[in-house]
């Protein structure tokens, strides 16, 4: 299997491990979602064991990797069922999409054309996850007027540092940062090809870190970082195939 996909799987496993520890910390609050508490706790322990086995399977026993990934997918969908959807919203969706893609890539790794199609689908979904929200913001009056970040900073749903809250509550700053977000998201498909990766990746990692410090969206950092190996693969694939 391509090293890009191995890296993505390891990053995905790391994200799931962090999420599992979060579930363990919140297990008393999550008991309302699960009728069988013991079974829920056992599934978390099993999840940790599977995650820790993945790096070893990649190095020593590649043939069992698809089986480990499949068990993680089953556990993930079990949680979706009990939570009536993803617990962490978009970050859970992207993580599950990548996990399922990696499962099929492992299963069909001898069929290079099918692997390419699967990786292309995931790469395009990741690109759209930036581009489409940017397009939406372009036609949203609140973002165009520069009120969006100001309104978000006042929302009780986000615990924002008082200094940052005061900074975003001012119209010029809110408007400038709002426009920067729109520009980054809308231009993301182009930036993949024209910007050097040593510059592009730190910029978007910083973008997600900023989301964390401003709005507490820490899960997005790990969820989208695990997707970047697919974007690196996508760039190389397009360049080689079309002499771009």
pLDDT at 36: 65
pLDDT at 234: 93
pLDDT exceeds 90 at position 118: yes
pLDDT exceeds 80 at position 90: no
Between the ranges 74-88, 148-162, 168-182, 229-243, where is the mean pLDDT highest? 229-243
pLDDT tens per residue, range 206-236: 887 777 766 666 666 777 788 889 998 998 9
pLDDT tens per residue, range 7-18: 899 988 888 888
- Give the residue extent of every domain in the chain: 1-110, 111-244
pLDDT at 207: 80
pLDDT tens per residue, range 183-197: 989 999 988 888 777
Identify which has the larger pLDDT, 178 or 153: 178
pLDDT tier, 200 (very low <50, low <70, confident <90, very high otherwise): confident
Could you write out the DSSP letters of every residue in the chain?
--HHHHHHHHHHHHHHHHHHHHHHHTTTTGGGT-S-HHHHHHHHHHHHHHHHHHHHHHHT-GGGHHHHHHHHHHHHHHHHHHTTS-TTTHHHHHHHHHHHHHHHHHHTTT-HHHHHHHHHHHHHHHHHHHHHHHHHHHT-HHHHTT-HHHHHHH-TTS---HHHHHHHTSHHHHHHHHHHHHHHHHTHHHHHHHS-HHHHHHHHHHHHHHHHHHH--THHHHHHHTTHHHHHHHHHHHHHHHT-
pLDDT tens per residue, range 34-68: 666 677 777 778 888 888 888 888 888 888 899 99
């Amino acid at each position: 299997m391509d090293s890009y996909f191995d890296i993505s799987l390891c990053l995905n496993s790391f994200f799931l491990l962090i999420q599992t520890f979060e579930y363990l910390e919140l297990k008393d609050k999550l008991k309302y979602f699960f009728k069988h508490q013991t079974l829920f706790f056992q599934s978390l322990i099993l999840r940790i064991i599977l995650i820790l086995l993945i790096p070893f399977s990649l190095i020593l026993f590649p043939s069992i990797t698809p089986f480990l990934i499949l068990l993680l997918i089953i556990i993930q969908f079990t949680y979706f069922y009990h939570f009536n959807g993803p617990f962490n919203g978009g970050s859970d969706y992207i993580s599950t999409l990548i996990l399922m893609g990696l499962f099929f890539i492992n299963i069909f790794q001898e069929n290079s054309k099918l692997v390419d199609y699967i990786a292309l689908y995931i790469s395009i979904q990741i690109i759209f996850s930036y581009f489409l929200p940017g397009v939406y913001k372009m036609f949203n009056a609140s973002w165009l007027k520069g009120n969006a970040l100001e309104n978000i900073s006042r929302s009780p749903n986000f615990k924002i540092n008082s200094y940052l809250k005061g900074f975003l509550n001012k119209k010029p700053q809110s408007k400038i940062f709002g426009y920067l977000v729109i520009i980054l998201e809308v231009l993301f498909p182009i930036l993949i090809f024209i910007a050097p990766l040593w510059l592009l990746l730190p910029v978007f990692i910083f973008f997600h870190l900023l989301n964390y410090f401003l709005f507490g969206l820490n899960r997005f950092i790990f969820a989208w970082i695990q997707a970047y190996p697919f974007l690196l693969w996508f760039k190389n694939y397009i360049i080689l195939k079309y002499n771009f």
